[in-house]
Structure 1
Amino acid sequence: MYDATKLVIITERTILDGVTALIEQGGATGYTHVDAGGKGSRGKRSASRPGISGVMSNVKIESIVADRKTAEEIITAVATKYFQHYSGIAYVEPVEILRRHKFEV
C-alpha cells in the first residue's frame, strides 16, 4: 500500500465540466463524480429530485493524487474560480492505495 491524497469537491452540477477540467489541469489522472444531496448553508438539495434538467442539483467529485500539495493546489484553483458565485465545499484526506502508478503523471 502507498500513501496518497484524495480530494473531494461537492458543488453544483452546472459547473461540473469546469471543475473537472481544473482537476485534470492540476495533474490528476482521473476523477469520479456522483449525484449528491444534503443540507447546508444554502438549504436542502435532493439527489433524487434535482429539479428541471438537473438545475439546483449537486455532485460529489473525488480524485486521488500522489501528494497533498497537488490536491491543495487543485481545490484552491476550484475555490478561487467558482466558490464566490456557486455553492461548494472542498476537502482533502489521506488515503492508502494499491497501485501508485495509476495516480502519477
Structure 2
Amino acid sequence: MTLYSAIKVVIITEKMIAKGICNIIEQEGASGYTIMAAGGKGSHGVRNISDRAAVIDDFSDVRIEVIVTDKERAKSIMKKVAEAYFNEYAGITYLDEVEVLRLSKF
C-alpha cells in the first residue's frame, strides 16, 4: 500500500459563515470538504454542541476540513478565510500534514 503526502486545512468557526468559507475553498480549487458539528472552550467562552444548537442552529459551531495536495494552496485558503471572516466572527484555522491513500481524490 502506497501513501501520499497531502495537507489538511482545519477551520473551526461559526456555522453562519460556513457557506462563505466553502465558497472560498471551492474557488481555491479544492475537490471537496467535510463539515461537522464542533464545540469546546476558547477565548469566546464555552460552546456546547447540544445546548447551542437547540436554541438557534446558526449560532452553533462547525469544523470544516479540506485536504489539498500542496502547502501553498492550503495557506491561501487559510489566509483568505481569515481575511474575510476572522475580524468579525470567532474562528481558528490550522493545517496538518497527512498521508492519503488515493491522491487522485484531492
- TM-score normalised by structure 1 residue count: 0.94
- SS of equivalent to 1:16: helix
Identity between Structure 1 and Structure 2 (%): 49
Query: 2-side partners of 1:25 and 1:90: how far apart?
Result: 18
Letter of the 2:24 counterpart: L
Match of 1:80 among 76, 80, 83: 83
Match of 2:45 among 40, 43, 46: 43
Q: Which structure has more helix as a fraction of its residues?
A: 2
Map 1:1-105 onto structure 2 (within 5 A).
1-51=3-53, 52-103=55-106
Letter of the 1:26 counterpart: E
Runs of 4+ in 1 over 2 A off after TM superposition: none
Question: Over the residues paired in the alignment, what is the CA RMSD in angstroms?
Answer: 0.9
- TM-score normalised by structure 2 residue count: 0.93
What number of residue pairs does the alignment pair up? 103
- SS of equivalent to 1:79: helix
Structure 2 unaligned segments of length 5 or more: list them.
Answer: none
Query: 2-side partners of 1:71 and 1:92: how far apart?
Result: 8
